[in-house]
Amino acid sequence: MDILKLVDTQKIIGWRRHLHMHPEVSFKEFETTEYIAQQIAKYPGVEVFRPAKTGLVAVLKGGKPGKTIGLRADIDALPITEEVDLPFASKNPGVMHACGHDCHTAMLLGALDVLHRQKDELKGTVKFIFQHAEEHPPGGALEIVNSGLLDDVEAFYGSHVFVDAPPGEVRAAVGPVTANADVFAINIQGVGTHAALPEKGIDTLLVGTEIVRALHTIIARNVSAFDNAVLTIGTFKAGNAHNIIPDTAEILGTVRTTTQEVREAIVKRINDIVNGICAAYGATAEIDYTYGYDAVNNHGGLCDYFAHIVTAALPHVTIEKLEPMMGGEDFSAYSKIAPALFATIGVGPKEGEFFQAHHPKFCVDEDGLPIGTAIYAAFALHAEQIGSFEKAN
């Protein structure tokens, strides 16, 4: 069966453009959720559950017994003003689908359209997860997972559009494909004084500078060259006049890692460096380290199954290795329930300049959308084969 022939490309593009015109930010996707529910209502027998204020889960039961599969798309947009001149550009000022979640939503609706037509032949149950708030920690995935609605799911699949690859190229890999994405805040307390009497105070600008410099040695000197890690300081604030030595300083940053071991080692090193430097200068510090989304860890057996079904169902699609991306993704929350796989779907332009996700000029080639749709559908249609790849782990 040529699964691409079952995909209704016009419908998918229509959904995608409507969503693109009407973007909503995380946890505020009220009209988006309503629109998705209206489209799903056209498919008799599909049950809809609303486990949170926004986002929904649609359930399609196949005509034959089989596994329960979770297919996930995120639905939220970003607080960005669109700078792309499109007939379907954002109509909501300051909000834009700059990460392609409009494409994800349309592709998952497209998969529901395909699978609904195949439902007599479909083995098992498909749970379509239209997930809110991927862009804003603590994220929407956790709310849906905690609702218990997905407790019986035996395998999850999710994908993200990817402008670094052209339509027809998908990427996947075993192991970590996104990062543990954490945030830290360091508040330093010293003693303020007159700029001409530095010996009377404890200069937090100087202490902060030492900390900023030393934190940058962690990746270079405490993390193996074979591990993936990033530490970035995005904010350093101290002082507000030329003649005052400031009594406080604030440092904000992010840590990205792909393993729990490296994550914990970096947390310990941050504490040691900050406390050690503060002690040396007589300052004190409060360190507030917030664990964000866990890394998405792709399951080996599912990855083999994915390669098998993509090759069989879409002979013109190529599968490349997905290198770990240091961004965060709350798809990781689903792997607490069952094995999960996250892949990328090429939507990059065939030539010319292009912009990455979260850029006001982000733009996709819609030729990739029917492929992403077909893969969602194929993942569910052949799910009875998933067990036979378990041994590959």
Question: Which are the catalytic amino acids?
Answer: 76, 134
User: According to the binding rule CB under 5 A, does residue 345 interact with Ni ion?
Assistant: no
Contact segment (CB under 5 A) with Ni ion among 93-101, 166-174, 250-258, 285-293 equals 93-101
DSSP 99: S
Span near Ni ion by CB under 5 A; candidates 99-107, 142-150, 263-271, 281-289: 99-107
Binding status of residue 80 toward Ni ion by CB under 5 A? no
* Cβ at position 134, least distance to Ni ion in Å: 6
With binding defined as CB under 5 A, does residue 170 bind Ni ion? no
85: helix, coil or strand?
Answer: coil
The count of other CB atoms within 10 Å of the CB of residue 62 is 22
Q: Which residue has its beta carbon closest to Ni ion?
A: 99
Residues 59 and 115 sit within 8 Å (Cβ to Cβ)? no
Helices 369-381 and 300-313, interaxial angle, to 10°?
Answer: 120
Nearer to Ni ion, 58 or 99 (CB): 99
Closest distance to Ni ion from the beta carbon of 99 (Å)? 3
Smallest gap from Cβ 216 to Ni ion, in A, equals 28
Stretch that binds Ni ion, among 96-104, 237-245, 314-322, 338-346 (CB under 5 A): 96-104
Helix axis angle for 260-281 and 204-215, nearest 10°, is 150
Secondary structure class of 337 (helix, strand, coil): coil
Pairing of strands 318-321, 169-172: parallel
Tokens standing for 54? 């926004």
| CA atoms of 15 and 35, how far apart (whole Å) | 9
Provide the token pair at 230. 């990033």
**219 vs 347, beta carbon nearer Ni ion:** 347
> Would you count residue 295 as binding Ni ion (CB under 5 A)?
no
Options 94-102, 347-355, 367-375, 377-385: segment touching Ni ion (CB under 5 A): 94-102
Applying CB under 5 A, among 3, 99, 111, 325 the residue interacting with Ni ion is 99
Provide DSSP, 135-169: SSTT-HHHHHHHTTTTTT--EEEEEEEETTS-TTE
Task: Give the count of residues interacting with Ni ion (CB under 5 A).
Answer: 1
Q: Which residues bind Ni ion (CB under 5 A)?
A: 99
